[in-house]
Structure 1
Amino acid sequence: MSSEYRDFLELSYSELEDLNLAAKEQRRNRVDPAKIQEERLAYLRDERRIKAVMVVFSDLEGRLHMLDYDKKFLVNSYDNLTFDGSSIRGFTAQRESDLRLAIDWAAFYWTPADVFGAGKVLVFGEVIDKNGEHYAGDLRGVLKNYAKEQFDKNGYHLNAANEIEGFLFEGIDAERSFHELGSFEYVNKGGYYHSLPGDPLREFIDTTAEVQRAMGFENEKDHPEVAPSQFEINYTYGDVVMAADQIQLYKLICRQVATQMGMTASFLPKPVTGVNGSGMHTNVSITKDKTNLMWDPNGEEKTSKFGWEFVDRILTVGSDLCVVLNASVNAYRRLDPHFEAPNQIKASATDRGSMVRIPIGNAKSARVEVRSVGPDANPYMVLYTIFKTGLDGEIAKIENLRQAERYLPDNIYTALEDFNKSEWVTTILGGDVKQRYSDLKQASADRCPRLLGTIVKPCEIQFHHDVYNQLLWGQF
């Protein structure tokens, strides 16, 4: 169809960056949500070139869902957007299927027309239950409420930055075709930091980085990673909910850019054996009155007592949280210290086999890095459990807790047993959400061989929550 008659919004990347950074600053400054809502609605009414609003939300496993609403409809009906929750894995049962989407107007993004389509903007939604409260299965709402509670009660700003690794493979939908082909094909075999200008991996990284920059990510650095065709694109830290939103957008952007280039961006933790897997190292800090509470120039590893207690609480329940941080059958292939991945429940400034690392820092950058997180985990659940545990958990009386010889589960079945028995997980997630999440993970595990073996099996790809194939799942 001809586009000459379509007067849809298409902004330059520099214009997009200015708009998105201004919106990001409003979130950082905690501008009154009512004021932001008024501004966004006025903008949508006045900007005739916008045709649709993409409303996105995440299910219990962290899979991103997108709905396009006609702009005029949304402006008039934003307070009554209903959807069938029984169609979303892990959400409501069929007998209680009606849920609503509320709009988080502060989480509003102007999107590049060449990637998302002309005349569109994107905003995050919040799932609302029939009683008008945040739905317990929407971990974004849970995380947002917890962050607000910590700010209101203690003046804490919860900050996070994530280093998200992924692979770039030949062909569109390479993951969904894995059960037919039995392997992935690299687009580049260069390895760490090595990719010549203009080769497919470098072009993908460059294009993705430009889209992120336009969407206000505030990029820091990007590069090929250790394994062939592996990449990492880093951006600055942010408020915990914004940080989790950006993880979802990061993966969405990577997948869309790769598809447009005829390739697949994969966030499976270990799609190929014999090379390094992909992690999502999660760096967290807490500030109060612009002071980093993790920093103490005289503390052990220049970390404060507050920071070490935060670490000790996480180490106490490391096994219990493992299936939250490593959410798939495939994730347990990655937890191998021979490939720079953690498998020990301990803390260290240098040992990359440790679940928690204390990076070199200063008064601004001091932080705790949880290294055992897979890139396919629900980012809202990950950040909520890390902060909730680090601030509110208990410290076990284990001798030499930070260096004790304790190991993370090496398979999802053991991880599920620890998760199911954990009283702390019940406390932080609630019994119902805990059971639903466990059932989803168990269902995926039951469709896969119990022993991982030395090769990646088709079922651990085709029944993976990120890859979800409706036709294949429907056969069970």
Structure 2
Amino acid sequence: MSVQKVLDTINENNIQFVDFRFVDLSGRAHHITLPATEVEAETFENGVAFDGSSIPGFRGIEESDMVMMPDTETAYIDPFTDHPTLNIMCNIFTPDGDRYDRDPRSIAQKAEEYLKKSGVGTAAFFAPESEFFVFDDVRYESGMNTSSYKVDSEEAVWNTNTKEEGGNLGFKVGVKGGYVPVAPVDKQQDIRSEMVRLMQESGLRVERHHHEVATAGQAEINFRFDTLTKTADNLLKYKYIVHNVAQQYGKSATFMPKPLFGDNGSGMHVHQSIFNGDSPLFYEKGAYANLSEMALHYIGGILFHAPALIALTNPSTNSFKRLVPGYEAPVNLVFSKGNRSAAVRIPVAAVTPKGCRIEFRTPDSTANPYLAFAAMLLAGLDGIQKKIDPRELGYGPYDKNIYELSDAEKSEIRSVPSSLDEALDALEADSEFLTEGGVFSADFVANYVSFKRQETKDIAIRTHPHEFSLYFDC
């Protein structure tokens, strides 16, 4: 979309405000809003100034001036504002006109540029399956003398014997009993359908929605794949719509990986493939799962670098409460066709040559999608360039339920890091694949590790409520 087309959209739709947005290290969007009367062609040439020192992990106060440069291709009309508003994603630049090397969106674009320069292909396609919970009540606090949380849902299994207005009507979702039931067990059909409607109006091509496995309102909506940066843009739009539709219904949506103890967590399985023009490069008819050698080497790169990669794809302390055996969590660093107990799954049902892809199942939605998708692509490209064969390294294929293997058999399989600290250690030891082609800078990696270490420290020094159950009577 040209600048003139954006200006025409503002006039034709009586847009009153233009919302310029960017994303921080954690993947959270921020915005500055201009009256539409103040938005001219020069706005897109000069950008919108903001204070980078007020964004955690960006810049110090002595170098705080930064510029948002709008990407006109991302413009869409906000479906929630009372005053007609046009939303536009931006890249971040320094006042000197240089790309800011800590800008996640710029890193994603540099990863796409590096793919083309590598000669491997022309485009990488991504499709995340971002799961979430919709709760009716959310309460938490963390203080000097108190620490607690409580969530609730009309669907939750723990509410089978609670007093409800008008009487308890039953039809609750059991533990691990929530996969695609119909109403009245599934009480959130209309909420998800409204989310889908607004996603479609905002330009997303949605393929389906359904209730997910866990009790208490777990859901999934799938939107169609696109190129790396566009998919990351789409995921931010997706989360924005999910959060705000839930609010409109008097509920609250969260993409937190493990808000409940004892049931499935929320992941973000990421489907990915590489094309050269219109030709798919991951397909080879008759090979294992119809995968080409290039695709196998891509898998090899993902699995080889997985411990470091996970610092970017699962970047929260809560992520590792999901990554434990027993809850369909993909903790095993192996690949397999159609096997959901493997970290990398190759979908085989109703797959065409152009639909041939690999699925990395370990990530979750606390990931910044620009960073996570870029890091996955770079790991895969490293595997292609170095011809890392996952079969030779013992990464599979494992075409059986890994959870049912004997302890001796399981001992031969690498597992994901058990904590964010371990993943950050791995990233510090293995980051060269990220800095190839200048996609990630060494400064970015060091800053990111320091930024995330603070989160692990914040959790480590705080008293946990369960510690009272274990130790108060000592």
Bin of the TM-score, shorter chain as denominator length: 0.7 to 0.9
Question: What SS class does the counterpart of residue 418 from structure 1 fall into?
Answer: helix
Is 232-241 or 175-184 further displaced after alignment? 175-184
Separation (CA, whole Å) in 2 of partners of 1:72 and 1:135? 29
In structure 2, relative to structure 1, the CA distance for the partners of 1:375 and 1:353 (3 Å cut) is same
Cα offsets for 1:82-125 (capped at 9, x unmatched): 1110111111122111110001001111232xx23331111111
Unpaired runs of 5+ residues, structure 2, are 157-172, 397-411, 469-474
Query: Is 2:181 the partner of 1:194?
Result: yes
Cα offsets for 1:307-342 (capped at 9, x unmatched): 111111111111111111111000001112311111
**Match of residue 362, structure 1, among 347, 352, 357:** 352
Separation (CA, whole Å) in 1 of partners of 2:451 and 2:103? 15
Corresponding residue of 1:310: 298
**Match of residue 219, structure 1, among 206, 209, 217:** 206
Corresponding residue of 1:443: 454
**Match of residue 43, structure 2, among 51, 54, 77:** 77
Separation (CA, whole Å) in 2 of partners of 1:239 and 1:364? 14
Aligned-residue offset at 1:153 = 6.2
Letter in 2 for 1:409: P
Unpaired runs of 5+ residues, structure 1, are 1-22, 24-35, 458-476
Cα offsets for 1:46-90 (capped at 9, x unmatched): 337211011111111211112212112222533231111011111
Aligned-residue offset at 1:418 = 1.0
Work out whether residues 273 and 356 of structure 2, in 8 Å CA contact, stay in contact via their aligned partners in 1: yes
Question: What SS class does the counterpart of residue 70 from structure 2 fall into?
Answer: strand
In structure 2, relative to structure 1, the CA distance for the partners of 1:454 and 1:313 (3 Å cut) is farther
**Match of residue 15, structure 2, among 50, 54, 64:** 50
Corresponding residue of 2:369: 379
RMSD: 2.6
Cα offsets for 1:225-263 (capped at 9, x unmatched): 000110001111112211111111111111111112111
Aligned-residue offset at 1:446 = 0.7
**Match of residue 286, structure 1, among 251, 254, 274:** 274
Alignment of 1:116-155 (within 5 A): 116-151=81-116, 154=119
Corresponding residue of 1:351: 339
Separation (CA, whole Å) in 1 of partners of 2:279 and 2:154? 45
Question: What SS class does the counterpart of residue 447 from structure 1 fall into?
Answer: helix
Corresponding residue of 1:408: 416
Corresponding residue of 2:130: 164
Work out whether residues 166 and 232 of structure 1, in 8 Å CA contact, stay in contact via their aligned partners in 2: yes
Separation (CA, whole Å) in 2 of partners of 1:39 and 1:334? 45
In structure 2, relative to structure 1, the CA distance for the partners of 1:306 and 1:258 (3 Å cut) is same
Work out whether residues 267 and 362 of structure 2, in 8 Å CA contact, stay in contact via their aligned partners in 1: yes
Query: Is 2:41 the partner of 1:97?
Result: no
Separation (CA, whole Å) in 2 of partners of 1:452 and 1:336? 22
Corresponding residue of 2:407: none
Query: Is 2:87 the partner of 1:87?
Result: no
Separation (CA, whole Å) in 1 of partners of 2:229 and 2:136? 33
Separation (CA, whole Å) in 1 of partners of 2:251 and 2:95? 41
Separation (CA, whole Å) in 2 of partners of 1:324 and 1:58? 15
Letter in 2 for 1:61: S
Work out whether residues 246 and 252 of structure 2, in 8 Å CA contact, stay in contact via their aligned partners in 1: yes
Work out whether residues 219 and 235 of structure 1, in 8 Å CA contact, stay in contact via their aligned partners in 2: yes
Corresponding residue of 1:12: none
Question: What SS class does the counterpart of residue 135 from structure 1 fall into?
Answer: coil
In structure 2, relative to structure 1, the CA distance for the partners of 1:107 and 1:277 (3 Å cut) is same
Letter in 2 for 1:364: K
Letter in 2 for 1:340: E
**Match of residue 205, structure 1, among 164, 180, 192:** 192
Work out whether residues 180 and 210 of structure 2, in 8 Å CA contact, stay in contact via their aligned partners in 1: yes
Separation (CA, whole Å) in 2 of partners of 1:141 and 1:188? 41
Is 341-350 or 273-282 further displaced after alignment? 341-350
Question: What SS class does the counterpart of residue 168 from structure 1 fall into?
Answer: strand
Cα offsets for 1:363-411 (capped at 9, x unmatched): 1210010100011100000110111121135456884332362111111
Corresponding residue of 1:20: none
Separation (CA, whole Å) in 2 of partners of 1:227 and 1:331? 16
Aligned-residue offset at 1:279 = 0.3
Work out whether residues 296 and 389 of structure 2, in 8 Å CA contact, stay in contact via their aligned partners in 1: no
Corresponding residue of 2:442: 431
TM, length-normalised to structure 1: 0.82
In structure 2, relative to structure 1, the CA distance for the partners of 1:287 and 1:450 (3 Å cut) is farther
In structure 2, relative to structure 1, the CA distance for the partners of 1:396 and 1:293 (3 Å cut) is closer
Greater CA radius of gyration, 1 or 2?
2
> How many percent of aligned residue pairs carry the same amino acid?
27
Work out whether residues 330 and 362 of structure 2, in 8 Å CA contact, stay in contact via their aligned partners in 1: yes
Letter in 1 for 2:152: E
Corresponding residue of 2:27: 62
Work out whether residues 147 and 464 of structure 2, in 8 Å CA contact, stay in contact via their aligned partners in 1: no
In structure 2, relative to structure 1, the CA distance for the partners of 1:182 and 1:288 (3 Å cut) is same
Work out whether residues 20 and 88 of structure 2, in 8 Å CA contact, stay in contact via their aligned partners in 1: yes
Is 349-358 or 59-68 further displaced after alignment? 349-358
Cα offsets for 1:147-172 (capped at 9, x unmatched): 1443466451211111010001113x
Work out whether residues 175 and 266 of structure 1, in 8 Å CA contact, stay in contact via their aligned partners in 2: no
In structure 2, relative to structure 1, the CA distance for the partners of 1:124 and 1:259 (3 Å cut) is same
Aligned-residue offset at 1:197 = 6.1
TM, length-normalised to structure 2: 0.82
